Structure formats: structure tokens, C-alpha cells
Amino acid sequence: MAKDKKLVQSENCNGCGICVTVCPTNIKLGKAEDFNVDTAKLAITVSNGAAVIDSNACIACGICSKNCPVGSLAIVPI
Ligand code: SF4
Ligand code: SF4
């Protein structure tokens, strides 16, 4: 099913990493026996102090945006 919304990020991100830990896509991948943090197609990661979204892996569920302490993430229509 085609996605009609997507996750976007603003400049507010402080790199806390909460979004990375609450993301259900990341959690599912993390349960794999052969999970490798360097190669897994995580939906959201933190790099150089800021969250980085992989729009291919992200299912736009919005859980990360609800948990971001600084309101850096938002779900928007495509
Ligand atoms: S997007 Fe929000 S929850 Fe994710 S690292 Fe940035 S500040 Fe933290
Ligand atoms: S919107 Fe959902 S799938 Fe996408 S990064 Fe956030 S928690 Fe993960």
C-alpha cells in the first residue's frame, strides 16, 4: 500500500535518540537474530548529533514524533 504521509524533521533535534528506541520498525529489526546495527535498515537513527530518517524503512506511524521531547518530528501528508 502506498504511503500518503511521511515523517519529517525540523532543526530542533538534539540527538537524544529517544525516537530511535521507540520506533516499532527499529524494534522489530532489533529482535532479529542476525541484527547488526551497522547494516540494518533502521527507520530512524542518530548521526552527527541529529536524527536521520530513512523514508524507505519508515512506515510513518508517528510514534517517534509523539515521543520526541523537543517536537522535532512531525507526520505530514505527501
Ligand atoms: S528527533 Fe527528537 S527524539 Fe529523535 S533524537 Fe532528535 S530530539 Fe531526540
Ligand atoms: S514514524 Fe514510526 S516507523 Fe517512522 S521512524 Fe517514526 S516511529 Fe519509526
> What local confidence, expressed as pLDDT, does residue 32 receive?
96
Residues 6+ positions from 43 with CB-CB distance below 8 Å: 23, 25, 26, 53, 54, 57, 58, 59
Domain map (residue ranges) of the chain: 5-77
Global pTM value? 0.94
Q: Which of 18, 58, 78 to mutate to test the pocket of ligand 2 (most atoms within 8 A of CB)?
A: 58
Beta strand extents in the chain (DSSP E only): 5-9, 44-47, 50-53, 73-77
Q: Residues near ligand 1 with C-beta < 6 Å?
A: 13-19, 46, 51, 68, 70, 72-73
Q: How many CB atoms lie within 10 A of CB 26?
A: 22
CA of 11 to the centre of ligand 1 (A): 10
Domain 5-77, architecture per CATH: 2-Layer Sandwich (3.30)
Which ligand 2 atom is nearest residue 53's CA? 5
pLDDT at residue number 1: 55
pLDDT tens, N- to C-terminus, the chain (78 residues):
568 999 999 999 999 999 999 999 999 999 999 999 999 999 999 999 999 999 999 999 999 999 999 999 999 999
Residues 6+ apart with CB under 8 A from 13: 49, 50, 51, 68, 70, 72
The ligand with the least distance to the CA atom of 17 is 1
